[in-house]
Every structure is written in structure tokens, then in C-alpha cells.
Structure 1
């Protein structure tokens, strides 16, 4: 019963709003159009402000880093797609390519006993 009552209330409000809009459109269309334009302008300004302040200044450093990485990734994939097809490489060019390969400086190797199994019972 509770849902049925709220449904009738919502339908009643929608009908009253429709009657009000139609009567205002019939009696004074100029004022109606100015009112609608004002509402659209206010909504557009609020939408712009919310987007501007929520996206322009992320609060967390991780979020900024994520945006930066996403831009780099888009650039890289865009660059790969626009590159012309490559020719078959020769043995000399393969060895040159291996020498030019950069080391990932942000990755480190942690030394340890990798062959030893962990004692799962101690967890």
C-alpha cells in the first residue's frame, strides 16, 4: 500500500506540473521561453562549476598520477596505431635493438631466497 500511495502522489505532481506548463505556454509564451532559458543557463553553470572543480584539482596524489599515466598510455597507443608497418628485421638490427633497450629504473630487484618454500602454517 505504501508504494501505491507514493505512486499516486508522484503522478498527481506530474499532472499539476504539466497543467501549469501548458497554461503558462498558452497565456504568455515569451515569459515561458525566458524562464526555460534561465533554468537551462543555471543548470549549465552549475554543471560547469562541478566539473571544473572536481576534475581540475584531484585531492589525492595517486589520482593525479593515474591521470598522467592514462594520458601517456593514450599517447603511446595513438603513436603505435599511426606508425607505418615495419619491414622484416635483419640479424644486425635485432642485436642493435637489444642494445638500445632501456632498463626500467623504477623497478628494483629484491634479493632473497626464492627457492625456499614458505611455511604456510605460521600464517
Structure 2
């Protein structure tokens, strides 16, 4: 049964390749025009879809993207720092400056209050 399915798929693929080669040889301008038309339609659909999805996400998506940008900037800063320091005094100053900068930046995370005081009903377990 697998042989019959594989043979069918191979036959369809061979016919598709034969049709493509025939079109390229006989009418390449028509093929190019079709590719451009389909690409333009796909691009328009993508832009419309992206516009409506971004609008639907609203405030939550903008907060997420802002947090992602902050995280990326923070990661880039860590990555670009030099790993060797020539002078110990320079290392101490850099550490002190880093602590000051870290304290001055507000956190982009928020605390979600839960139901910590409420006891679970154990009758259902």
C-alpha cells in the first residue's frame, strides 16, 4: 500500500516538473508575470494581516515589545563589555557605576497579586 502512495506522489511531482519546464521553454514571460502577481497578492495579504493583528494586540503587545527591547539592550550591553580589566581601581569604579545605574533604572516587571491567603478545598482531590 505504501508503494502505491509513493508512486502516485512521484507521478504528480514529475508531471508538475514537466509542466514547469514546458512553460519556461515556451512562454517564460507569462511565468514571470504570474510569479510577480502571486508575490504581490501574498505581500498585500501579509501587510493587511499584520496591520489587523497588531491593532488587535493593543496595549499588551506594546508592553511586551517594550520589555523585549529593554531586555535586548541589557543583553547587548553585557555582551559588549570587555572581559579583562587592566587596573583594579578601574574595575572598582566600573562596578560602582554599574550598581548606581542598576538602582536608578526602574524594573519593567510587574507583580501580580494572587490568592495566597485563600485555602484550597480538599474535598475535590
Q: 1:119 aligns with which of 106, 118, 121?
A: 121
Asked if 1:73 is matched to 2:67, the reply is: yes
Kindly indicate whether residue 40 of structure 2 is the aligned counterpart of residue 45 of structure 1: yes
The structure with the greater share of residues assigned to helix is 2
> Paired residue for 1:21?
21
TM-score, length basis structure 1 = 0.54
How many residue pairs get matched? 112
Unaligned 5+ segments in structure 2 are: 82-90
Larger relative contact order (CA 8 Å, sep ≥ 6): 2
Unaligned stretches of 5+ in structure 1? none
1:4 aligns with 2:4: yes
Give the root-mean-square deviation of aligned CA atoms: 4.6
- 2:28 aligned with 1:33: yes
TM-score by length of 2: 0.53
* Larger CA Rg, structure 1 vs 2: 1
In the TM superposition, residue 68 of structure 1 has moved relative to its aligned partner by: 1.8
CA distance, structure 1, for counterparts of residue 115 and residue 14 of structure 2: 69
